Amino acid sequence: MLMKDCQHMETRRVTILGLEPVAFFHRRLAWLPLVFVIATGCVSRPPSTVQIQRGRTLAACERDSADPANLNVATFNVWGLPSWINGASPHRYDKIAHELVELGPDVVLLQEVWTARSFEALSERAEGAARSWWTASARRKGGFLGQNGLLTLSRYPIEGGEFRRFSAARLPDSLMNKGALKVTITIWPGHRVNIWNVHLQEGAPGRVRSSQIAELTGWIKEAEDGQVADIVGGDFNFSPESGEFRQFAAAVGPSVHQLAKAMELPTWDGLKPTPGAGKVLDHIFVKLRQPADEIHAWPRRIFAESQREKRLSDHMGVEAFLTFSGVEENGPAVLALRTASSPLPPVAALIP
């Protein structure tokens, strides 16, 4: 989180993968170019159009049509600021990329992929990369300022993409281009899904984030791509007990934890050992578009090492295994709640 890094720069000492941050005096000097860029107004350029990179293909038609459609979605804020700001090693991006492959989700929503180094590692753009994923981004040329920081990875072919920038933002987020990155995939014959990767204004509730929530809700409702569902995930910067969470869930649909009747665990703690410092800021929501009998959700937290020095970000991630079943032309839409007696689908056993 950019604001938290600015606010605690003098007092916080963080070690990630063995890299100590530089002294505050040197950090202050390093901020001088940033101040110059801000003063000259060179961060107002809009992001570029969505770029889609082909990867290995998992075709929807490869699955047995008698099985329920399923989708494993993960979201993770990678804290991709320059090392001179957050003191974190850039080598962790390669570790994140490796762990994502090991986890095996179908779709990954990444936020704060600000720097070129983080983008190159996580999007598999480097020469000789395995190209395990289809990727979508709307990255502009230049440095980390003015980026939207969103990167979506998919095992399924990405059929189309669109980036929308929020019209309102306050500092320091206004130095970037936060918004929503939408991609469309087909997970099953006749099961097209829109995936929304989002990052909202940091900080306390206020007019700016309320405006962003209203814009995002409108974009989702207006999207007509023949989809059976919209999956909306990312760093929302609001907690489950907030009015903002309730407002968004009422307008769009429940979170995967609401579907599963599962307790949400903190997804951000600023790498602080203070008890109770954690907050639940990262979520995945589901909006059904076409009549279906039910959808089940099995969420869990990922990238949640208990030892701070082994953590790969100041955030932890969320992963949700979703199953869609009983799609009927004229049937009612039901969001099914998982209970303790609800068995996991056989494929879920493959998820570590």
Sorted by where each starts, the structural domains of the chain and their CATH numbers stand as: 2-350 (3.60.10.10)
Lowest mean pLDDT among 25-39, 92-106, 198-212: 25-39
Q: What local confidence, expressed as pLDDT, does residue 8 receive?
A: 43
Q: What number is the average pLDDT over the span 297-314?
A: 94
Residue with tokens 């107004």: 41
The model's pTM is: 0.82
**What is the strand order of the sheet 229-235 is part of?**
160-165, 179-188, 191-199, 229-235, 282-288
Residue 318 has pLDDT above 90, yes or no: yes
Q: Is residue 203 pLDDT above 80, yes or no?
A: yes
Residue 158 and residue 214: Cα distance in Å, rounded? 26
Q: State yes or no: pLDDT of 48 exceeds 90.
A: no
Residue pLDDT, tens place only, 163-179: 999 999 999 999 999 99
pLDDT of res. 109? 98
Residue 187: pLDDT over 70: yes
- Over residues 109-120, the pLDDT tens digits come to 999 999 999 999
- Average of per-residue pLDDT across 203-227: 95
Span 147-166, pLDDT tens digits: 999 999 999 999 999 999 99
The confidence score (pLDDT) of residue 77 equals 98
Check pLDDT > 60 for residue 44.
Answer: no
The residue ranking higher by pLDDT, 341 or 65, is 65
pLDDT over 70, % of the chain? 73
User: In the prediction, which pLDDT does 86 show?
Assistant: 92
- Indicate whether 337 pLDDT > 70: no
Residue 297 near residue 268 (C-beta atoms within 8 A): no
Q: Omega into 240 within 30° of 0, i.e. cis?
A: no
Over residues 215-224, the mean pLDDT reads 96
Q: Decide which of 345 and 263 is more confident.
A: 263
Q: For residue 94, what are its two tokens? A: 């390669």
Q: Over 80: is that where the pLDDT of 338 sits?
A: no
Give me the mean pLDDT over the 212-241 stretch.
96
CA distance 240 to 281: 8
Q: Which residues pair with 165 in a beta bridge?
A: 179
Inform me whether the pLDDT recorded for 343 exceeds 80: no
- Indicate the range of 21-25, 89-93, 154-158 predicted with least confidence: 21-25
Q: φ, ψ for residue 64 (rounded to 5)?
A: -70, 125
230 has pLDDT over 60: yes
